[in-house]
Structure 1
Amino acid sequence: MANKRYVNFFLFFVISFSLLHKSYPKSTNQSNEEHQILLELKNHWGSSPALGRWNSTTAAHCNWEGITCTNGAVIGISLPNQTFIKPIPPSICLLKNLTRLDLSYNNFSTSFPTMLYNCSNLKFLDLSNNAFDGQLPSDLNHLSALLEHLNLSSNHFTGRIPPSIGLFPRLKSLLLDTNQFDGRYPAEDISNLADLERLTLAVNPFVPAPFPVEFGRLTRLTYLWLSNMNITGEIPKNLSSLRELNLLDFSSNKLQGKIPTWIWQHKKLQNLYLYANGFTDEIEPNVSALNLVEIDVSSNELIGTIPNGFGKLTNLTLLFLYFNKLSGSIPPSVGLLPKLTDIRLFGNMLSGSLPPELGKHSPLANLEVSNNNLSGKLPEGLCFNRKLYDIVVFNNSFSGKLPSSLDGCYLLNNLMMYNNNFSGEFPKSLWSVVTNQLSTVMIQNNRFSGTFPKQLPWNFTRLDISNNKFSGPIPTLAGKMKVFIAANNLLSGEIPWDLTGISQVTEVDLSRNQISGSLPMTIGVLVRLNTLNLSGNQISGNIPAAFGFMTVLTILDLSSNKLSGEIPKDFNKLRLNFLNLSMNQLIGEIPISLQNEAYEQSFLFNPGLCVSSNNSVHNFPICRARTNGNDLFRRLIALFSAVASIMLLGSAVLGIMLLRRKKLQDHLSWKLTPFHILHFTTTDILSGLYEQNWIGSGRSGKVYRVYAGDRASGGRMVAVKKIWNTPNLDDKLEKDFLAEAQILGEIRHTNIVKLLCCISSSDAKLLVYEYMENGSLHQWLHQRERIGAPGPLDWPTRLQIAIDSARGLCYMHHHCSPPIVHRDVKCANILLDHNFRAKMADFGLAKILLKAGDDESFSAIAGTFGYMAPEYGHRLKVNEKIDVYSFGVVLLEIITGRVANDGGEYYCLAQWAWRQYQEYGLSVDLLDEGIRDPTHVEDALEVFTLAVICTGEHPSMRPSMKDVLHVLLRFDRKSNGGILQDDICDETALLES
């Protein structure tokens, strides 16, 4: 018996051990299989921001980016925004536990991937924002029966949505918007999805048909978006069963009839969008849906008055009724709504005044009531809560002074009040340079008065104050100003000579004022100006030849002034569509290119003008020769006689005179071209060019540190780059000089080194820059001992230097027209001021692209080894992406501490970094010892990844400088997480005046 028990125990032990032995390898084998499947996915799709971190040397694939595991098994793959192009491979469904798959925002362009039918456990599938095309398969229901979320929006699917769409018993979210479905609404099929909570069919060219009444059966819907899909007829009453709705959007259809009462009595509805339909009846006055948050019935044909019941909607934040045919007054109760932030009533036939309490009881941010028949004053408390950013009230009959609450309304961005009867002094606080956010001010055709500050805010883009009563001197314009119109006011004084701050301006109209003085010689810096009207003033003096630089100028009106002298021959360079120089005191020959019928009325009432003998269309006299041959001969004889007489006075006297003359010529031979207000002279600069002030040598000349001017008059330290004109290098140096002067003379940006002036002679050329106290980034990274640096730069300083440099390049690439390519971005050309703020420098190699987006070939390679992009060295092709590559190398230097040509066996730093990234992934060992603080390691490694992407071999795969800057700002704790506007390059870096 004992032996039997012994045998039974032994058998039990063997069987148990065998089962345990079999189960353990199975789990391990499954993990290994999934690991191998994921690596095959990586090999199939190639490198991407996420897959680049999938490392084959470790089995911990559950920690890889985009992978979710439960109990060691892969249950989720989330890889949006990876730029995948190759199709989804069938092997993905070998992950048997996969329940969630998100491949949105990629570049897939195949038909619907039916291989996903094999992913039998899928509950969540998101293929949105790709380029999938063709018709959806009729057997779409062969996808997992467990599916709860299906998102195919923003693709190119066509044809009819198959009936099988209604055969997913657990589906809660169906998003099919923004495709090209052109069949009938699949109303009956979708209505079978009893658990559906979110449904979007918007923005599809369906066959026009009445509203799908079947959707009334989807009683669990919380989100229904059906805009822009050719719905006709009225909104059916049976939708009143949708009691759970939070958002209802029927916009941009062809709906008619009344807005049904059930919408206003809907207790849970938070958002209502019905704009761009065809409603033709009054809004029901019985509004009791107190939970409504947003109402938008704009762009219809609504008639009648705005119901007073809107005042009961105490949770209302948005009220959009624009582009209808509403009449009558705006109910005063609307002004009492406590949460109202945005009210848009423009494009109706409303009359009366605005609600007197509007803005006083709510955080009102946007007011748009233009193109109505409104009158009276603006409400006194309009900006009471200091949240207002837009006031758009043009084309009404408003009158009186602006409300006092606008004095200090510093968030205002757009102020459009033109064509009203406003009067009184315009609030001075709205011109504040320090706090103002205004970018657009259009207040023309009113009766405003007041004066301007010395300088307007930097962020103004458009200012139109024409036909008012503003007086005083013209302000200095700066920053991003594109349009400045101040016609028919009482402005006086001279036109400011410092126009460099508005080199981006395209239109200036100062006509019919009281402007005097002469036209500034600096007017030529307005190289983007296409319209200039200074007529009807008291401007005197000559017309500057600098007009010849304004090559895009098409409209020029200088009539009815006191201009004298000749019309510059440089006008022959212009291609004017309209020119008026009439009623001045001009003399001499009209430029040849303007002696034709197109300009027949351009020179009237200038009796001193004349034309050549073969151009008499202007009815001007033929120009007489100023001297004939006999006169010239007699003058030459007299001159030679005088010289002979002087020579007879003795060689000593002649020698003294010649010596003095030579000194005078030497002094006058230097030509100074200023780009800013200067407090020093040519002599100040020349006297400082001696060896003790030498601080270095560039590619084409020596650099000196010179203290220019005296301290009492604002003297300053400057950097002077001296370029000698030698016979062998004359043409090349001339190009360097002209390129650097042309580009830096026009650019105004806080992260681009400021070129103060150019000084040139027949022997040498000088470029005078602002002086950067802390030298170059190269010195601080690689020559700390030589410059006596106390220690390595910390991470916040390095990050700020990277952001500053990126801003400068971003401005050059995205805000200069045409774009500017630096062509020699490197650490040595990034200079640091006393606060270690960085500026891009040394534009001797820079080149303006002839046409935005085009490549351009050059006859010779220029740049620095280690920084040059591969395509630059092989094909001599240049676009902005070569700067992105070079900047990526700079980032690598900042992060690793290595120099650009230090790649060991891998040729250069960029190739070394790419190998490290691919083979070993990210580790603290990549970082310079000075930035291995644990609080910054993660950010520094992310920037390392960005640098690797920037130095990619293919230009098309590199990001733009705007994208690079956006990423860098995410790591800057002061930049609000990198949430920025479209004009990121100069929105975050003030343009200097």
Structure 2
Amino acid sequence: MTKTTSLIPLIHFSFYTIFVLHLFSHANSKLINAEEQAILLNLKQHWQNPQPLRHWTPSNSASHCSWPEITCSDGSVTGISLPSMNINGTVPPFICDLNNLTAIDFSFNYMTSNGFPKAFYNCSKLETLDLSQNNFVGKVPDDIHWMAGLRQLNIGGNSFSGNIPVSIGQLTELRILQLFACQFNGSFPPEIGNLSNLERLELAYMKAIMPARLPSEFTKLKKLKYLWVAGSSLVGEIPNTIGEMAALEYLDLSRNDLSGNIPSDLFMLKNLSVVFLYINRLSGEIPRLVEALNIDVLDLSENNLTGSIPNDFERLTKLSGLALFFNQLSGKIPDSIGRLPGLINLQLFENNLSGTLPPDLGRYSMLELFRVSSNSLTGQLPQHLCYNGRLTEVVAFNNSLSGQLPKSLGSCNHLKIVYLKNNRFSGNIPSGLWTVLNLNKLMLSNNSFTGELPERLSWNLSRLEISHNKFSGKIPVGVSSSRNLEYLDASNNLLNGSIPHELTALSCLTTLLLDQNRFSGSLPSHILSWKKLTTLKLRQNAISGQIPEEFGSLSVLTVLDLSENQLSGQIPLQLSFLKLTSLNLSSNHLTGRIPIEFENDAYASSFLNNPHLCANWPSLNISKCNFKPQNSSKTSSTLLASIIGPMIAILLGSAASFFVVRNCLKKKHGLMDLKWELTPFQRLNFTESDILPGIIENNVIGSGGSGKVYRVVVNPPREIVAVKWILNNKRLEQKLEKQFLAEVKILSSIQHTNIVKLRCCIFNDHSKLLVYEYLEHRSLDLWLHGTSSRASTILGSVQHVVLDWPKRLKIAVGAAQGLSYMHHDCSRPIVHRDLKSSNILLDSEFNAKIADFGLAKMLIKHGQSATMSTVVGSYGYIAPEYAHTTRVNEKIDVYSFGVILLELTTGRKACDNGDEHTSLVEWAWRHFQEGRHVVDACLDEEVKELCYLDEMYGVFKLGIICTGASPLTRPSMKEVLKILLQCNQTLVYGEKNIAHATLTSTV
């Protein structure tokens, strides 16, 4: 037998063995495949079959490896990626039965657990774990180092608390560690410095209980490229050894409380490209930028930096963004900055910089943002500022810049904002600048510009400020080309001619200021397009003729100043229909009697120096009319003080008067048997005899501590009023009298479209009736919290109307306007002290009006507190400092208004929320601080629509800010109103936050 023949059985055996092994392997593979698919289907079932995983179905033909969320290697599952899948529930213990898992991504879901899920401990091959932006709470365990193979761990955006475990420093394979936006106690374990392979470390926005220091051990992280510890209550100094982190490329320590000097070694790092150190307390001079040749973005703004800007910025040839604003830097801006080839954003505003601007700015780079306002800069704007045509903003107001504007601005087609007010510029405006296609805001006030206005303006222009210059000539008819114009201020110039009819075509116009010019002719009367006009000032011109009756149709007008002109004729009665907060018709040639609606102290200086005007209200300081006012059977033309005096005497009557009134009520027309007096505060179409029959139980629409409120229809015509009846009671007499006097004093002296009108007062020896305008849709409280039966009873057929988000936002804005007027625009600030949703009343169009001023307090001056004898108000709305000190100022109203904002956005009551915390403020703050998904957990499901979520969340956050524990952290109502009016945009406070966002966008 040959050797070859002897090998044949062996070959047959080998083929057979291989075949058997192949069959065994195939069978085993099918078994593993089936087991893994079963585990994944159990996982889906555990999470109650979320809709995004509906395609996870059993199949014999298609492997689960074909599912887009699953990654496989050699037929076995190695990765699960389920971000933003709306998954609720916990992490099941059987997940690690997928033995070959190396990567898990469960980010941006709603998963929960009490503590870090230890189920992952059994995933022996796990390298990447992303649990960020979920609802995990509790502590991260001390034995987390058992997950020794981890290379990336992201648990940011959860509610983990307690200490960051020291053992995390034993995960030496980690390349990425992300613990941002959790509730760890504030300290960072130095052991993190032992992670020698770490390349990315994110510890930002910790909601820390205690301030922390940046451990010097972190500087041992020689491979670290990305360090983000913004907004985490860091204190102390930046470690001097930070220059040893040789690989560092990105450093963000912003929004902390760091102090001391910036270490000079920081800029020895050759790889460093992005540095954010803004909003700290860093001091001293900016270090020399010795080796930082790769820096792309440098933001050191909002610190206490002094000295000058180093000359060696010229070495930073890659620099695209430089922000040094809100510091105390002085000296000249180095000319070398103008020659940086990569410079896009330059923001140096709010410093003490002086001298001339670098002449080459914009010539060698694609400059977009140029902001140098509020310094002491001199000389001209650089001629090449828009050389490359990319410039979008020129912001240089509040300097001493002079000369003519660069001609290149006239052809700078990307310009959106030019803000140059309060300088010494002169000469003509470059002709093309007026009509730059994208120009939105042009603000040139307080300079010495000359020339005439152009025939046309940019169609996109929304704000034009050219006041206090030397512009001359007429307003051209082409001004109507700018149909988006909202704000026009051309006051204090040399403009002449008549006010062109074309101005009245600007339907978006809200503010028109043409005072202190040389305008003549008559006022325009065809003004139907001015539906949004709130402010009109034409003071100190030579305008003649009569005031057109059509001005009474400007329904939202609140400020009207026509003083120091040559107007004649009578004041149109139609003006009394307006809800003016400021009216000035003084120094004209007006005649006749002023409308009775203006006969109150709110218009004390509105009619001076009109010799032929008259009125019967002495404080107006004009001639007394020699005839009695009409439309009232019994009127009084004495001062409010002379009304209140007899009232006080009336209240000193015997307690038996109460029983007299009670007995009268038992008779039909009992009130008519008593003797009443009426004092009007506006023109009336009724008398007390029209009111009294309506004071019956069937007309009661509300009640409170001071008495009942009635809905009364008066004839003629069929007008509806609301009547509050205050009935004397010896026990409550003194308290109610104070509230009555406060309400009469305040409501009769102020006028605002968002404050309920007091029409008149009717009184006798036993009781008082306050007559108000009637508001059809009653109180905000009823719409937000009223039961369906109660709402249907009171609101009748309108209860089906949904208080959707646009209506709620409209109500918030209206109430804020009223409150802002009380705090900032009255001669003496008024604090309401009992602001709540039941005191926000709504008219038929859901315009909000603040009511019930019985507890209101006039302050001596803005910001000054007054001490009260007792705390009054409603539970859930009372600011904490008021409850503790009984001192009041405007900020207690801001707190109450913040509660109302929380009611509007959440739909919850101010108290009694069925929670362990009965206060809405505590409930909202807890959700916000725990980092929960506010949109899903807090916002009112009844009105939550996708297109309004950003606005609702923004207003919710504003409510959080307004209800801050310290009054110092709360904004003023003027600031609150501004934010609400801009709520469809990102909620940012001022130029500085916009600047940071813009600078960050270059990274």
> Which bin holds the TM-score, normalised by the shorter protein?
0.5 to 0.7
Corresponding residue for 1:440? 441
**Deviation, structure 1 residue 87:** 3.5
Name the SS for the 1:24 alignment partner.
Answer: helix
Change (3 A) 1:384 1:7: closer
**Deviation, structure 1 residue 479:** 4.8
Corresponding residue for 1:650? none
List per-residue Cα deviations over 1:611-645 (Å, max 9, x = no partner). 4x688855334275999xxxxxxxxxxxxxxxxxx
Corresponding residue for 2:515? 511
Change (3 A) 1:49 1:609: farther
Name the SS for the 2:204 alignment partner.
Answer: coil
Corresponding residue for 1:886? none
Residue 332, structure 1, aligned to residue 335, structure 2: yes
List per-residue Cα deviations over 1:361-414 (Å, max 9, x = no partner). 121211211111110111111111112111111111100001122121111122
Corresponding residue for 1:229? 232
**Deviation, structure 1 residue 422:** 0.5
Select 2:102's aligned residue among 99, 102, 108: 99
Residue 310, structure 1, aligned to residue 297, structure 2: no
Corresponding residue for 2:680? none
Corresponding residue for 1:850? 846
AA matched with 2:205: V
Residue 485, structure 1, aligned to residue 472, structure 2: no
Corresponding residue for 2:869? none
- Number of residue-to-residue matches in the alignment: 655
Q: What is the CA–CA distance in structure 2 between the aligned matches of 1:548 and 1:91, rounded to whole Å?
A: 75
Name the SS for the 1:280 alignment partner.
Answer: strand
Conserved? CA contact 1:430–1:436, under 8 Å: no
Select 2:351's aligned residue among 348, 353, 363: 348
Conserved? CA contact 1:595–1:618, under 8 Å: no
Residue 28, structure 1, aligned to residue 30, structure 2: yes
RMSD: 4.0
Q: What is the CA–CA distance in structure 2 between the aligned matches of 1:183 and 1:208, rounded to whole Å?
A: 6
Q: What is the CA–CA distance in structure 1 between the aligned matches of 2:57 and 2:483, rounded to whole Å?
A: 48
Q: What is the CA–CA distance in structure 2 between the aligned matches of 1:593 and 1:963, rounded to whole Å?
A: 42
Residue 396, structure 1, aligned to residue 383, structure 2: no
Conserved? CA contact 2:805–2:943, under 8 Å: no
Describe how 1:211-250 pairs up with structure 2 within 5 A.
211-250=214-253
Conserved? CA contact 1:538–1:561, under 8 Å: yes
**Deviation, structure 1 residue 171:** 0.5
Residue 581, structure 1, aligned to residue 568, structure 2: no
TM-score of the aligned structures, taking structure 1 as reference length: 0.60
Change (3 A) 1:304 1:476: same
Q: What is the CA–CA distance in structure 1 between the aligned matches of 2:319 and 2:203, rounded to whole Å?
A: 27
Corresponding residue for 2:374? 371
AA matched with 1:398: L
Conserved? CA contact 1:580–1:601, under 8 Å: yes
Residue 125, structure 1, aligned to residue 129, structure 2: yes
Name the SS for the 1:374 alignment partner.
Answer: strand
Residue 68, structure 1, aligned to residue 55, structure 2: no
Corresponding residue for 1:921? none
Conserved? CA contact 2:241–2:265, under 8 Å: no
Q: What is the CA–CA distance in structure 1 between the aligned matches of 2:345 and 2:430, rounded to whole Å?
A: 24
Q: What is the CA–CA distance in structure 2 between the aligned matches of 1:121 and 1:67, rounded to whole Å?
A: 16
Name the SS for the 1:484 alignment partner.
Answer: strand
Corresponding residue for 1:903? none
Q: What is the CA–CA distance in structure 1 between the aligned matches of 2:306 and 2:534, rounded to whole Å?
A: 44
Residue 543, structure 1, aligned to residue 530, structure 2: no
Residue 468, structure 1, aligned to residue 490, structure 2: no
Corresponding residue for 2:421? 418
Change (3 A) 1:6 1:260: closer
Q: What is the CA–CA distance in structure 2 between the aligned matches of 1:93 and 1:624, rounded to whole Å?
A: 95
Corresponding residue for 2:197? 195
Corresponding residue for 1:357? 360
Q: What is the CA–CA distance in structure 2 between the aligned matches of 1:308 and 1:81, rounded to whole Å?
A: 49
Change (3 A) 1:851 1:114: farther
**Deviation, structure 1 residue 982:** 7.2
Corresponding residue for 1:839? none
AA matched with 1:116: F
Q: What is the CA–CA distance in structure 1 between the aligned matches of 2:239 and 2:809, rounded to whole Å?
A: 54
Name the SS for the 2:411 alignment partner.
Answer: coil
AA matched with 2:257: K
List per-residue Cα deviations over 1:899-942 (Å, max 9, x = no partner). xxxxxxxxxxxxxxxxxxxxxxxxxxxxxxxxxxxxxxxxxxxx
Describe how 1:592-631 pairs up with structure 2 within 5 A.
592-611=596-615, 617-622=620-625
**Deviation, structure 1 residue 453:** 3.9
AA matched with 2:468: N
Q: What is the CA–CA distance in structure 2 between the aligned matches of 1:543 and 1:93, rounded to whole Å?
A: 83
Change (3 A) 1:956 1:570: closer
Conserved? CA contact 1:322–1:348, under 8 Å: yes
**Deviation, structure 1 residue 476:** 1.9
TM-score of the aligned structures, taking structure 2 as reference length: 0.59
List per-residue Cα deviations over 1:697-738 (Å, max 9, x = no partner). xxxxxxxxxxxxxxxxxxxxxxxxxxxxxxxxxxxxxxxxxx
AA matched with 1:133: V
Change (3 A) 1:459 1:120: farther
**Deviation, structure 1 residue 489:** 1.7
**Deviation, structure 1 residue 255:** 3.2
Corresponding residue for 2:536? 532
List per-residue Cα deviations over 1:24-81 (Å, max 9, x = no partner). 3432343344444444444555677743555667835434343333333332232323
Conserved? CA contact 1:54–1:65, under 8 Å: no
Conserved? CA contact 2:264–2:288, under 8 Å: no
Q: What is the CA–CA distance in structure 1 between the aligned matches of 2:535 and 2:287, rounded to whole Å?
A: 51
Change (3 A) 1:32 1:522: farther
Change (3 A) 1:493 1:49: farther
Conserved? CA contact 1:68–1:74, under 8 Å: yes
List per-residue Cα deviations over 1:581-623 (Å, max 9, x = no partner). 1223333432222111211211123344344x68885533427
Select 2:149's aligned residue among 140, 146, 149: 146
**Deviation, structure 1 residue 92:** 3.9
Name the SS for the 2:281 alignment partner.
Answer: coil
Corresponding residue for 2:450? 449
Conserved? CA contact 2:186–2:233, under 8 Å: no
**Deviation, structure 1 residue 553:** 3.0
Corresponding residue for 1:561? 565
Percent of paired sites with the same residue: 43
Name the SS for the 1:370 alignment partner.
Answer: coil
Residue 959, structure 1, aligned to residue 946, structure 2: yes
Conserved? CA contact 1:299–1:321, under 8 Å: yes
AA matched with 2:294: N
Select 2:83's aligned residue among 63, 66, 80: 80
Change (3 A) 1:586 1:76: farther
Describe how 1:867-946 pairs up with structure 2 within 5 A.
none
Conserved? CA contact 2:369–2:394, under 8 Å: yes
Conserved? CA contact 1:50–1:79, under 8 Å: no
Select 1:273's aligned residue among 261, 276, 279: 276
Instruction: Identify the range of structure 1 (323-332 vs 504-513) with the bigger mean alpha-carbon deviation.
Output: 504-513
Q: What is the CA–CA distance in structure 2 between the aligned matches of 1:333 and 1:411, rounded to whole Å?
A: 25
Q: What is the CA–CA distance in structure 2 between the aligned matches of 1:25 and 1:543, rounded to whole Å?
A: 97
AA matched with 1:95: L
Instruction: Identify the range of structure 1 (33-42 vs 364-373) with the bigger mean alpha-carbon deviation.
Output: 33-42
Name the SS for the 1:164 alignment partner.
Answer: helix
- Extract unaligned runs of 5+ from structure 2: 631-803, 812-842, 849-903, 906-940, 952-982, 987-1003
Conserved? CA contact 1:293–1:318, under 8 Å: yes
List per-residue Cα deviations over 1:74-131 (Å, max 9, x = no partner). 3223232333343344454443333222222334454433333333332222222334
Q: What is the CA–CA distance in structure 2 between the aligned matches of 1:254 and 1:614, rounded to whole Å?
A: 58
Corresponding residue for 1:900? none
AA matched with 2:462: T
